[in-house]
Amino acid sequence: AGEPLVLGIETSCDETGVALVRGRELLVDTVASSMDEHARYGGIIPEVASRAHLEAMIPTLERTLGTADVDLSEVDAIAVTAGPGLVGPLTIGAAAAKALALALGKPLYGVNHVIGHAAVDELVHGAFPERVMALVVSGGHSSLLLVDDVATAVTELGSTLDDAAGEAFDKVGRLLGLPYPGGPHIDRLAREGDPTAIRFPRGLTARKDQEKHAYDFSFSGLKTAVARWVEARQDAGEEIPVHDVAASFAESVADVLTAKTIAACERHGVSTLVVGGGFSANSQLRDMAATRCAEAGIELRIPPIRYCTDNGAMIAALGSAVVRAGVAPSRLDIGVDSSMPL
């Protein structure tokens, strides 16, 4: 049936994702998460996540095949996240993918998780135009990618030098005494606050940083600024205006992310922007990106949130693109890479 049927497996963090994609059509996407277990510890424990992947892998695979009414023998290729991510969790996915490739005699493709966050949008909004910009923002990554061909030609223009956007939100959440992960809680508080109440710093936007770090991000200085601001009020025995702190903090993050991304689009003559990763749920980022893209004449594509958080569809989508591009399969002895470059 024409287009290859690709099975995608994702295990880089706390989600066990398995999906089937034919061409650019998503057949089924199944995700099992171990976040409930991690929330109790206030962060992701790699050993706990690895064990959860090991237990969830076959049931998630079986549910995916069952829902699609597909037999494993019909699968043409196996794609798996080879990095970046947590080594233990990545290893569980890679081991499962290798076992399937070996048993079925089908090619294995180890792919990059961050590029997957961009590739998944092709399943939702159709094939990419010739050149797109992708902003991938989550708890683990904040990267700006220039995509000439999602399978073969992706350039990282910039990334975070310290915390990822979601990670900064989670740290500020802890500071404000919010449950983990704090990102969605800050977002909720921010909606009732004044984003102009406090002028927090915009990382790496000063003239001296522009030359070297035009498209890089840094959020740890902002996090420290928020901590100092809050501590000073606490020491003075004043009440903390949490809504205004949340809104002003989120404003700084959204401002830097969108300003740098749009500058990169203009610099590289790109008129389509894809935003992916779990942080793309953030209200202020969405609003500001929509407004500024409209002003700049840039088409904004953001997949529904379930395809922005980690999932198997993003890996199957990228695997499918790689197969269609005629890229050679990976060897069965490939390793995983926690900080895999593009």
User: With contacts defined by CB under 5 A, how many residues of the chain interact with Zn ion?
Assistant: 2
**Identity of the residue, 107 or 139, whose beta carbon is nearer to ligand KG4 in the bound complex:** 139
Please choose which of Zn ion, ligand KG4, none residue 163 contacts, taking the beta carbon within 5 to 8 angstroms, the exact cut-off set by kind.
none
Please choose which of ligand KG4, Zn ion, none residue 282 contacts, taking the beta carbon within 5 to 8 angstroms, the exact cut-off set by kind.
ligand KG4
As measured in angstroms, the least distance from the Cβ of 207 to ligand KG4 is: 29
**Identity of the residue, 122 or 170, whose beta carbon is nearer to ligand KG4 in the bound complex:** 170
**Identity of the residue, 284 or 311, whose beta carbon is nearer to Zn ion in the bound complex:** 311
Please choose which of ligand KG4, Zn ion, none residue 183 contacts, taking the beta carbon within 5 to 8 angstroms, the exact cut-off set by kind.
ligand KG4
- Helix, strand, coil abundance in the chain, percent, nearest 5: 50, 20, 35
**Identity of the residue, 117 or 292, whose beta carbon is nearer to ligand KG4 in the bound complex:** 117
Is residue 31 within 8 A of residue 324, CB to CB? The reply is no
Residues that bind ligand KG4 (CB under 6 A): 13, 138-140, 166-167, 169-170, 181-184, 187, 277-279, 281-282, 309-310
Asked if 138 interacts with Zn ion (CB under 5 A), we say yes
- Name which position in 310, 311, 320, 336 contacts Zn ion (CB under 5 A): 310
Please choose which of Zn ion, ligand KG4, none residue 169 contacts, taking the beta carbon within 5 to 8 angstroms, the exact cut-off set by kind.
ligand KG4
Q: Do the annotations mark residue 187 as ligand-binding?
A: yes
Residues near 208 by beta carbon (within 8 Å), at least 6 away in sequence: none
As measured in angstroms, the least distance from the Cβ of 321 to Zn ion is: 17
Is residue 32 within 8 A of residue 60, CB to CB? The reply is yes
Q: Do the annotations mark residue 209 as ligand-binding?
A: no
As measured in angstroms, the least distance from the Cβ of 330 to Zn ion is: 20
DSSP state of 74: G
Is residue 20 within 8 A of residue 28, CB to CB? The reply is yes
As measured in angstroms, the least distance from the Cβ of 159 to ligand KG4 is: 14
Enumerate residues 219-278 that contact Zn ion by CB under 5 A.
none
Residue that the structure tokens 């066990």 belong to: 16
| CA 276/CA 261 separation, integer angstroms | 13
Residue that the structure tokens 């594509």 belong to: 301
From 19, 114, 27, select the one nearest 339 (Cα to Cα). Answer: 114
Residue 224 phi/psi, 5-degree rounding, is -65, -40
**Identity of the residue, 166 or 195, whose beta carbon is nearer to Zn ion in the bound complex:** 166
As measured in angstroms, the least distance from the Cβ of 237 to ligand KG4 is: 30
Buried b or exposed e, range 154-193, using 16+ CB within 10 angstroms: bebbbbbebbbbbbbbbbbbbbbebebbbbbbbbebbeeb
Strand partners, 111: 81
As measured in angstroms, the least distance from the Cβ of 223 to ligand KG4 is: 13
| CA 78/CA 144 separation, integer angstroms | 27
DSSP state of 86: -
Positions at the binding site: 113, 117, 136-140, 170, 183, 187, 282, 310
State the residues that interact with Zn ion by CB under 5 A: 138, 310
